[in-house]
Amino acid sequence: MNINEADRPKVFCGVVCILIEMGEQELINYKLCSEVSDDQIFQAFDGGFSDYMVNITMEKDQMLEHFFGPEGNDKELSYIALDGNKGIGLILGGIRLMNGVKTMRCGTMCIHPEHRGMGIAGRLMDLHKKMGQACGCKQMFLEVIVGNDRAIALYKKIWL
């Protein structure tokens, strides 16, 4: 049978392809420093402070003795951010009495330059705050060098 071209049913068959970029997948794990190795803690510290405004380069043993010794941080109160097995972020915490008030003190905080601006610092600070609350601290305390504008901006954004 001959069908006129004009009478032939019009079938429109189309597929719309939508491609959505997922962006780089960040698989960052957060652990207590007591759950990881000293090498990973030092790796996070060394990388995170590699471009710091003041040179605080130190050997692994010196770093661990100082920050978990006289500086008063505790591995049970400190968190590390891991990219795979690599330490890429750190927040050290310790409890002190300041004017009689139980205080969670942030002893150091750093993120590896390649992992900055991704919210990892905020997540670590959140864990730090929650740890303080869980320990019954009534306030948090940290010191920051004048001129460290990025750190100050972060602390203001998260805590103030």
Ligand X SMILES: CC(C)(COP(=O)(O)OP(=O)(O)OC[C@H]1O[C@@H](n2cnc3c(N)ncnc32)[C@H](O)[C@@H]1OP(=O)(O)O)[C@@H](O)C(=O)NCCC(=O)NCCS
Residue-by-residue DSSP string for 141-152: EE---TT-HHHH
The yes or no reply on residue 149 touching ligand X (CB under 6 A) is: yes
- For ligand X, the closer of residues 124 and 131 by Cβ is 124
Least distance in angstroms from the C-beta of 15 to ligand X: 39
Q: How far is the CA of 93 from the CAs of 2, 10, 14, 49, 133, in angstroms? A: 85, 71, 59, 17, 12
Contact in structure between 107 and 49 (CB atoms under 8 Å): no
The yes or no reply on residue 98 touching ligand X (CB under 6 A) is: no
Least distance in angstroms from the C-beta of 61 to ligand X: 21
- For ligand X, the closer of residues 19 and 40 by Cβ is 40
From candidates 42, 46, 47, 49, binder to ligand X by CB under 6 A: 49
Closest CA to 48 of 160, 147, 153, 150: 150
The yes or no reply on residue 122 touching ligand X (CB under 6 A) is: yes
How many residues line the site for ligand X (CB under 6 A)? 20
Q: How far is the CA of 53 from the CAs of 31, 50, 68, 96, in angstroms? A: 27, 9, 23, 27
From candidates 64, 83, 123, 148, binder to ligand X by CB under 6 A: 148
The yes or no reply on residue 56 touching ligand X (CB under 6 A) is: no
